[in-house]
Structures are given as structure tokens and as C-alpha cells.
């Protein structure tokens, strides 16, 4: 069979579709829409291999519409017009459902051409994308469509599809297939929620299985080789990249060592050492900060070691640093302080540098008050003297506020005493 197994086992009912119970379960909105037969323009958003194409195919079949498929990476505006041209033919008499895969690759002009036809009802559009549609899809199309998010399929659901796939191959090849539950479970857990990947693994596992007494016996060893590297979902150019690094830093900020190590492992499994190092250093400065400033050079040293040794050993110093960041006291006082200062600049709240701080070498003849009047702090007790440092218009502005951690409170007590507060 040249047709991929994933296509040969397309479900015949909504209940046959694995996963997406939040969309297709009883009384869920998308299920009700499909069962009504009145299909609006839809956008399916989610990772590959989770049923977007499968559901679009089912919808076309259930509503007796002609299904036309285009891919945003290769289709042109002429392809869209060719689809529309079939409306007045026999094949388009019940309406055309256009399934546009990877719509995010359509440029604005192409999406505007598409808009013309969905706006006048010539075609019903079901577009799919692995990227966030609110970033990549033209607003006018979004406003005329309903977005549904698809999620990775849980292993227990994939295991059901694996069993069905094995049965179909057995029927097609007219041979008994012995597919142990342990093998089904390993494939289901090793495909990263991607049903298509699981189907490919099933097909290959049966292909390489030894036939004994008319029975093809799938072995755990062969399955282990086929799924030896878990399909961690990660695309350095996509949403998943930003989701993982966001979860990575937020887990460190939240002092959850287990979660932080999990996301670190996902970054490193995908080979993204630069992101793992960069976010770790940012977190040390932004989230630990002045509560334990000694940690910043320690983290930098761990990052230097990781970059020197490379993967896979880089995981060791990075794990050390991640756990230290998680367990360190936290303060974002410096981060908030610089943000407040930057906001003042953006708002135009700044003025000339006070005279006593300027780099003064010469007073013009027109200046009747010659001199810089700078007080050198080291000439005074405790190396401190009260003088104005901020520009006049913001002379009383407070950007930095002491954190409530032991370290910053020690700073505060020291300077409160010296400044006679």
C-alpha cells in the first residue's frame, strides 16, 4: 500500500477520532457545530499529527461537500481561483470545503484573495496552522472564522489508535500480528502526542517483525529502536520554543526545581543549548538578583563550562546552576528599578545633568557663578555626602526599593544609619 497508514485508518465517526475530547466530546461546541451540518469558516490550531486534517476530511464527508486541499507552503493565488472555479461544476454542486494546511505561510496578499471568496460564501474554509493564528493570520480572516485549539493526544488515546492500526495491517496483509501491550504502550508514550508518528512506528514495527508459524511477532527490542528518541515537540522558530523557555524561566522564578529541570531537559534534548544558557543567566540576574548577587558569577561560570564541554555533558553544570537558582532567595528589585527608570525616559521625564555632576573643565565669561560645586564623597565620614544626583525635574524620583530579603535589608539598615534616616 502506497497510501500512508495514517490515511488508511481515517475514522468513520467522531467517536473514532482519538484525542481532542475537549473539542469533540459530548455536548462540546465543535461537535455540535459538526453535527448540525452548518459549518462556518474554521481555523484549527495545534501541533502536527493530532487530527486536524483527519477532522477536516471527516467534516467534508459528513456534510457531503467536495474537499479540496491546499498547502500554504506551495499554493498560490491561482490555486485558490482554480478551486473556486469548480463551484459551478458537478463536483462543486453541494459546496466546496477548502482545507488550507499551514495557512501561516500565506502572505497578506494571498490571504486577502482568500478572504474575497470566504466573505461571499463561495467556499467554506478550514485552515490549519501549527503557529498561533492571532500572530500569523490576517485579522479579516480571523474575524470571519472560529478558532479551535488542538492539543497533543494523550498516550492512552494513542494506544487505542495503535491497536486499531495493527488490526488493519493484519487484515490487509492477511497475516496474524502479535503486537504485545508493552509494545503498544512504548509507541504511545514515545511519539510525543503525534498520532501520525505513532502510525509510522506501528507500520515499521510490523514490517521488521519476524514471522513465526504464520504469525508476525513484534518485539520490544525493535520497537525500542524505532522510538528510541522521544518525539519532544520543539521548533526553534515556532510557539513551542517560546512556551518552553517561558516555562523554564517561570519554573526557576517559582523555585520549582523539578519543573525547571524538566524544561531544561526539553531544551537540551532539542539541542537548544543557547536558549538554555541565556534564560538561565537572565533568571539569575532578574529573579535572584540582589537577594543573592554572589550567584550571578557562579551561574556564569556554569554556563561557560557548559559551552566549553558541549552536549551532552553540558547538562551537568546547567543542572547545578538551575537548582541553585531555584533554591536561592528571590528579589526583582533591581529589575523593577531599571524598568521604572526606562519608563521615565520613554515618557520624556529627564533633564540636564546637574551641574555638580557634569564633566566641567571651563566656565564661560558669561557665567557669574563659576565652579562645579561637586562634593567628593570620600572626603566625608563614611564616604557619603548628601547632594543632588538626579536632574531637577525628577530630583525626588525613587526607582529602586529595597527587597525584603536578608541581603537587601542589610544594605538598607547600613545606609539608613549613615544617611541619618
Domain shared by 214 and 323, yes or no: no
Q: Are 130 and 234 in contact (CB under 8 A)?
A: no
Global pTM? 0.58
Q: Are 302 and 366 in contact (CB under 8 A)?
A: no
Could you tell me if residue 344 is inside a domain?
no
- In 271-346, DSSP assigns E strands to none
Q: What is the pLDDT of residues 103-133, one digit of tens each?
A: 988 888 888 888 888 887 778 899 999 888 8
Query: What is the average pLDDT across 402-419?
Result: 93
Q: What is the pLDDT of residues 331-356, one digit of tens each?
A: 999 999 999 999 999 888 888 888 88
Domain shared by 26 and 142, yes or no: yes
Kindly tell me if the per-residue pLDDT of 236 is higher than 80. Answer: no
Domain shared by 253 and 308, yes or no: yes
Domain boundary among 107, 129, 149: 149
Cell numbers standing for residue 295: 550567584
The percentage of residues in the chain with a pLDDT greater than 70, rounded to a whole number, is 91
Tally of structural domains, the chain: 3
Cell numbers standing for residue 235: 521548533
Q: Are 264 and 303 in contact (CB under 8 A)?
A: no
Q: How confident is the model at residue 362 (pLDDT cuts 50, 70, 90)?
A: low
CA 208 – CA 219 distance, rounded (Å)? 9
- Give the best-scoring range by mean pLDDT among 186-200, 346-360, 387-401: 387-401
The percentage of residues in the chain with a pLDDT greater than 90, rounded to a whole number, is 38
Domain boundary among 296, 327, 358: 327
127 beta partners? 43, 100
Q: How confident is the model at residue 7 (pLDDT cuts 50, 70, 90)?
A: low
Q: Are 8 and 161 in contact (CB under 8 A)?
A: no
CA 388 – CA 374 distance, rounded (Å)? 10
Query: What is the average pLDDT across 131-143?
Result: 86
Amino acid at each position: 500500500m502506497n497510501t500512508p497508514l495514517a490515511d488508511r485508518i481515517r475514522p468513520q465517526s467522531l467517536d473514532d477520532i482519538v484525542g481532542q475530547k475537549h473539542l469533540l466530546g459530548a455536548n462540546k461546541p465543535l461537535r455540535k457545530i459538526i453535527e448540525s451540518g452548518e459549518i462556518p469558516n474554521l481555523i484549527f490550531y495545534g501541533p502536527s499529527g493530532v487530527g486536524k486534517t483527519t477532522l477536516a476530511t471527516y467534516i467534508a464527508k459528513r456534510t457531503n461537500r467536495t474537499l479540496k486541499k491546499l498547502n500554504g507552503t506551495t499554493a498560490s493565488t491561482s490555486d485558490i481561483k482554480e478551486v473556486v472555479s469548480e463551484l459551478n461544476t458537478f463536483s462543486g454542486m453541494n459546496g466546496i470545503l477548502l482545507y488550507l494546511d499551514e495557512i501561516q505561510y500565506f502572505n497578506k496578499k494571498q490571504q486577502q484573495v482568500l478572504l474575497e471568496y470566504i466573505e461571499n460564501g463561495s467556499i467554506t474554509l478550514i485552515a490549519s496552522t501549527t503557529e498561533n493564528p492571532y500572530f500569523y493570520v490576517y485579522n479579516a480572516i480571523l474575524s470571519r472564522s472560529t478558532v479551535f485549539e488542538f492539543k497533543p493526544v494523550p498516550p492512552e488515546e494513542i494506544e487505542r489508535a495503535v491497536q486499531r492500526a495493527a488490526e488493519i495491517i493484519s487484515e490487509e496483509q492477511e497475516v496474524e500480528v502479535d503486537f504485545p501491550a508493552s509494545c503498544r504502550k512504548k509507541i504511545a508514550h514515545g511519539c510525543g502526542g503525534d498520532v501520525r508518528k505513532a502510525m509510522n512506528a506501528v507500520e515499521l514495527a510490523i514490517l521488521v517483525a519476524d514471522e513465526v508459524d504464520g504469525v508476525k511477532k513484534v518485539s520490544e527490542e525493535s520497537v525500542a529502536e524505532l522510538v528510541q528518541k522521544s518525539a519532544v515537540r520543539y521548533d526553534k522558530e515556532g510557539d513551542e520554543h517560546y512556551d518552553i523557555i517561558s516555562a523554564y524561566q517561570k519554573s526557576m522564578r517559582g523555585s520549582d526545581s523539578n519543573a525547571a529541570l524538566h524544561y531544561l531537559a526539553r531544551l537540551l534534548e532539542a539541542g537548544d543549548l543557547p536558549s538554555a544558557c541565556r534564560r538561565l543567566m537572565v533568571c539569575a540576574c532578574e529573579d535572584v538578583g540582589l537577594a543573592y548577587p554572589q550567584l550571578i558569577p557562579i551561574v556564569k561560570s556554569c554556563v561557560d563550562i557548559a559551552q566549553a564541554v558541549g552536549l551532552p555533558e553540558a547538562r551537568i553544570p546547567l543542572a547545578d546552576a538551575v537548582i541553585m537558582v531555584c533554591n536561592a532567595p528571590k528579589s526583582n528589585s533591581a529589575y523593577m528599578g531599571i524598568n521604572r527608570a526606562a519608563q521615565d525616559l520613554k515618557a520624556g521625564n529627564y533633564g540636564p545633568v546637574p551641574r555638580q555632576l557634569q564633566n566641567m573643565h571651563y566656565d564661560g565669561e558669561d557665567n557669574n557663578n563659576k565652579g562645579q560645586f561637586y562634593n567628593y564623597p570620600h572626603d566625608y565620614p563614611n564616604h557619603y555626602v548628601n547632594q543632588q544626583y538626579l536632574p531637577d525635574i525628577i530630583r525626588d524620583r525613587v526607582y529602586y526599593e529595597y527587597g525584603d530579603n536578608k541581603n537587601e535589608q542589610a544594605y538598607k539598615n547600613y545606609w539608613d544609619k549613615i544617611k541619618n534616616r
